[in-house]
Amino acid sequence: MKFLKKNLDKIKDECGIFGIYNQKEAVSLTVLGLHSLQHRGQESAGIVSFKNNALYHHKGAGLVNDVFKGISIEGNIAIGHVRYSTTGDQRYENIQPLIANTSLGKISIAHNGNITNSKILKKELANHDQIFQSTTDTEFILSLLSLNNKDTIEQRFVDFSSKLEGAYSLLIIKNNKLIGVRDPYGFRPLVIGKYNKSFIITSETCALDIIGAKYVRDIEPGEIVSISEKGIESRKINSKNKQEKFCVFEFIYFMRPNSIFQNKSVSNIREKIGSELAKENGVEADVVIPVPDSGIHAAIGYSETSKIPFKQGIIRSHYMGRTFIEPKINIRNLNVNMKLSINKFYIKNKKIILIDDSIVRGTNMKKIVGMLKDGGAKEIHVRIASPPFISPCYYGIDTPTKQELVASKKSLKYLTKYFNCDTLKYISIEGLYKAFYNGQILKGEKHYCDSCFTEKYFFSKHTNNLRNKNH
């Protein structure tokens, strides 16, 4: 079976996860939750449910609505997963949640992130006669849980967590219990919600909104949350790390605009970034136009600060179907034209400020600028709501190699000419963090991972090995 073709000019988060405890409609609500997390993974989806001391599962390649159409599995506890492939390929065995037999019984696990020392772990586990059915690093976590001899899942995780390096937000079903785990750095989001008498753990608050659940709190970095008949119990992973390093790109691009994390509105942060972008890189123009949908909120902020009118000069088709079949090359090259079209009324003879969240390979930006030129634009000034994307991420994001990242090797002058725009400007790192800290210049240690912009990585030994292979 062929899987969905990725957009080669947008980076992808690896996945989204949703779990619910003590709910007779657990599976149906999990399907809805995954639907709201579809932006985090569109290659595959899966659900595992628990009822009467047994686990039931359903998974498949494709979008949530297709995978779970007409399913009828029961359970009062369920975890679900939507996926892009970063670690591991697109085979069926890699579709999560995964299930394994352990000395504590059957358990199921869903994972958002990337274990940077997975190859080291695989060698160690192979020495303990562990056999792997998939190529995803999630299975290594299952193996570590199964080999450990502590009395509970929580104790086992605390015991072996020092072996794990990288990013992981996890959901686990063990008997009549739902467990959520977030790595000590807190790279990926994980929140707790409540739906009547049921508790939910999920990647984003937008998954709570879709079912009418209430947001309770974020799960803290290095926290293990257990939900059972006893209620909610919490403990911490033993870690020397005391510094949160949440992925800054979650706020810039990945998370849904209506999500809230760290008591921050995602849409509000993006508008503030656009505002700082206007302060840093203002230019005389007639209209501010976003690349839909990624540039909309930054463009609103830019427009409000610059006093230049916001217009939807580019229209995105929301009805373009996805296919498992690769089209012929001449058709594939028309993809941008199929997804986006120009509103010439706002374009012709206008000086345009074009806003987007980021530039990865640059192919889409080049095509969009070309479309605006063909539409009669007088000037095009590209403004990007993130610093230059210069290095791959190894903490749960699907990114190209460094050579493929157009900003990593090329100067601003070259890129301006390459895109055929009049000017090109990115927000600075300082301006980016002003948006996070209410316009104040950040002093001291920042609580975010920005390695894709700065090349300052964590877990240096194993990450450097990965970097050497991707340079």
- Kindly report the CATH number that applies to the domain delimited by 266-446: 3.40.50.2020
Select 12-244's CATH number: 3.60.20.10, 3.60.70.12, 2.40.50.100, 3.30.450.40.
Answer: 3.60.20.10
Choosing from 15, 393, 421, 449, the catalytic residue is 15
- Indicate where the chain has its CATH 3.60.20.10 domain(s): 12-244
Q: How much is the average pLDDT of 403-409?
A: 92
- Indicate where the chain has its CATH 3.40.50.2020 domain(s): 266-446
pLDDT tens profile 163-208: 888 899 999 999 899 999 999 999 999 999 999 999 999 999 999 9
Across 333-337, 421-425, 467-471, the highest mean pLDDT is recorded for 421-425
- State the Cα angle at 363 between 362 and 368, rounded to 5°: 100
Of 409 and 312, the one with more pLDDT: 312
Lowest mean pLDDT, pick from 71-80, 118-127, 173-182: 118-127
Task: Kindly tell me if the per-residue pLDDT of 19 is higher than 90.
Answer: yes
Contact 8, 398 (CB under 8 A): no
Which two three-digit tokens encode residue 293? 């949908």
Q: How much is the average pLDDT of 34-60?
A: 95
pLDDT tens profile 426-465: 999 999 999 999 888 776 678 899 999 999 887 655 555 5
The question of whether 15 is a catalytic residue gets the answer yes
